[in-house]
Amino acid sequence: MENKELIEAIRGMLKEELEPIHEEISKVKDRLTVLEIKEQTTHKKLDNLTLDVKIAERDTRRDIAQANDAIETLVAVLEAKGILPKAL
């Protein structure tokens, strides 16, 4: 066998041996792509959830402030009418 033929034979054997490895690498790449997409989706959902929580906290604080204002007004009116004794 000449060098060229020997090289071609070795190349063919290597290609044959490496083919299953290339297939596995391709499968791993596909799975990685799927995982990246799932990670992006999960990240967006987490961002949306974080925003929803912040909005709920703001709304709750506002509702509590409004309730406190209403209570203060009610107490002031009841004290003014003599129904409720004035606080010390």
Nearest by Cα to 39 from 73, 31, 71, 8: 31
Could you give the CA distance from residue 22 to residue 13 in angstroms, rounded to a whole number? 14
Could you tell me which residues come within 8 angstroms of residue 84 by beta carbon, excluding any fewer than 6 positions away? 75, 78
Structure tokens of 81?
Answer: 């009418």
pLDDT digits (tens, 9 = 90+) for 6-39: 999 999 999 999 999 999 999 999 999 999 999 9
The pTM (predicted TM-score) of the whole model is 0.64
CB-based contact 85:79 (threshold 8 Å): yes
